[in-house]
Amino acid sequence: MNISHKLTGGCLCGGVRYELGERPFGVVDCHCIDCRRSAGAPYVTWGMVQREKFKLVGGTIRRVSFAGRLRGFAACCGTQILFEDALDCPRVDVAIATLDDPRPFAPAKAIWIEDKLPWVTLDPCIPASPTTPARTQGQGEKMT
């Protein structure tokens, strides 16, 4: 692991716990309607890690298939933890707010702003894309 301490996170009730073996990359705020509805929030901040770097250390993730992708929720309380293009995809997206300390992982981009709620104000310091930009070195890889 090339980070000085383990990155840990979990769900609202503490029933699901995980560790990350690397720092999340390609961090984005996703404003798509699917993320909004699945989280009950105006947008979700996601960060990618290599699948083998995500380790579930407690509890159960319930995967729900929708729109050709998988969302992973804590079976105990329903907190959304993961987003996956497919079970065999080499990377998973982790909901940054589920980290015990999400502060170091600010988004580098806003995506799916064509679905953005009108009362949400975008950060003018980061680029924004109407949908999901082309995949380049992990940036914009979150697709919904």
- Ordered by start, the domain boundaries in the chain are 7-115
For the domain covering 7-115, report its CATH number: 2.170.150.70
pLDDT band at 134 (very low <50, low <70, confident <90, very high): low
Share of the chain above pLDDT 90, in %: 81
**Nearest residue to 116 via CA among 25, 39, 12, 41:** 41
pLDDT of residue 105: 97
Mean pLDDT, the chain, whole residue set: 90
**pLDDT value at position 51?**
96
Q: What pLDDT, on the 0 to 100 scale, is given for residue 83?
A: 95
Is the confidence at residue 19, as pLDDT, over 50? yes
What pTM value is reported for the model?
0.86
